[in-house]
Amino acid sequence: MNIEKLLDELYSYSLHGIKLGLKNIEDICKAMDNPQKNYKTIHVAGTNGKGSTSTTIETVLIEHEKKVGKYTSPHILRFNERISVNGIEITDEEIAYYYSYVKNIIEELKITPTFFEVTTAMMFKYFSDKKVEYAVIEVGMGGRYDATNIIDSDICVITNVSLDHTEFLGKTIYDIACEKAGIIKKDSKVIVGSSDLEFLKGIEEKTKDYINIIEKYKKGRYFLDFKKYKTIVEVDEDIYNFSLFGDYQYKNFLCALEVLKELKVPVDIIKKGVEKVKWQCRFEIIHAKDKIIILDGAHNEDGMKTLCDTLKLGFKKDDITAIVSILKDKDYKKILEILEKTVGKIIFTSLVENKRGQSAVELFNNSNKKDKDYKENINEAYNLANIGNTKAVLFCGSFYLLSKFKEEVLVNEK
């Protein structure tokens, strides 16, 4: 079976939907002799910032000469991005081997797992076979019933909570925080990245013993360098040149910093490591001709707000043309309201090839923006955005849109 057919079969597990409960993953891992117990784990949950925080921890631990696995989702271009060891993605051959291994167990157990349960089982076994010392494991959704939550994590990080996936996790910040706090285990160190009172109330249902980085580092400062696109952070008289750029990256940095301090990583190693962090499609800057292209995966209300807060610090409204597509199961009207106040022009494009996607004209009709247009074809949308004196072309609203841009537009730019 070639890799495309194999991945199609693996993705078909998505048809089984989202199931709450840990029995499937517990049974699969038990049949594999519980490989998730063979390394130290850092478990990262939160509505936004999981990926940036996880990748920062991973990069610095590699700088510290540790062997590190990282599990993250969703992928942008290739499934392989989800599972990596020391920054090197799992190969197609390894995907085939570990999928076959887990599939045989599933058939023996006569169970019907979800896509995320299958990939999580593959990851646990892969990291064990690779003999990683640390695994940085990002929660897929929620926390308590997430397939990753069979680990006894050494450190738990909960970055923040906003209203996303409310049909599964709850209708309020408090309810969702309680779900995410479900990753906290008896002996886990707990780090949180928000001072929202409803959020903290949810955390305290599970533990009173946690570190709130907002409080701990309240004397910390940062500024955004719009020439080098770095976030410069000053904490406890140390200065860090953080390579991930954005107003929102400060809190992600502090969450990662606290984890690294708990792991007793020397400050000079942290300083070197945070300059090397790469995380695509989170205020990712691409220089093209006389403009810059900004790619950001902001796909919910909170993510769009933090993106726009950063844009306002470095750009005038008319400097930016946004190319946008948003999945129909997101609160796209609220997301658009935030964006419309921040950019000069919006060009809508289509994601109808995705069953959750919308056409450009549907989004166009739901926007109150005066200066707006639409092109169903992403190349045509990009060509339209390049007309005029715009300084920056922003792609946002969905990771699927960013993936489409990289696959269909960026190849022609290079």
Sheet containing strand 155-158, strands side by side = 88-89, 83-85, 68-71, 134-138, 40-45, 155-158, 189-192, 211-212
Indicate whether 210 pLDDT > 90.
yes
**Residues 161 and 63 both lie in one domain:** yes
Per residue in 335-390, pLDDT tens? Answer: 999 999 999 999 999 999 988 899 999 999 999 899 999 999 999 999 999 987 88
Domain co-membership, 307 together with 176:
no
Residue 91 has pLDDT above 80, yes or no: yes
The domain that holds 56 is classified in CATH as 3.40.1190.10
Fill in the DSSP letter of residue 2: -
Is 226 found in the same domain as 309?
no
Question: What tokens were used for 90?
Answer: 């799992």
Number of domains in the chain: 2
CA distance 312 to 242: 20
CA angle 158, 160, 166 (to 5 degrees): 105
**Looking up tokens 């109150």, which residue turns up?**
368
Indicate the pLDDT class of residue 166, thresholds 50, 70 and 90: very low
Judge contact between 326 and 339, C-beta under 8 A: no
Contacts of 49 (CB under 8 A, 6+ apart): 159, 160, 193, 248, 251, 252, 255
- Nearest to 360, CA basis, from 384, 387, 341, 342: 384
**Within a domain: 279:** no
- With 0-12 / 13-18 / 19 or more C-beta atoms within 10 angstroms meaning exposed / middle / buried, residue 108 is exposed
pLDDT of residue 282: 87
CATH number at residue 317: 3.90.190.20
Whether 259 and 315 map to the same domain: the answer is no
Give the end of a domain, one of 216, 244, 274.
274
Which residue range is the domain that position 147 belongs to?
3-274
Strand, coil or helix: 85: strand
pLDDT tens-digit series, residues 218-263: 999 999 999 999 999 999 999 999 999 988 899 999 999 999 999 9
Same domain? 298 vs 333: yes
C-alpha dihedral, 369 to 293 to 329 to 76, nearest 10°: 170
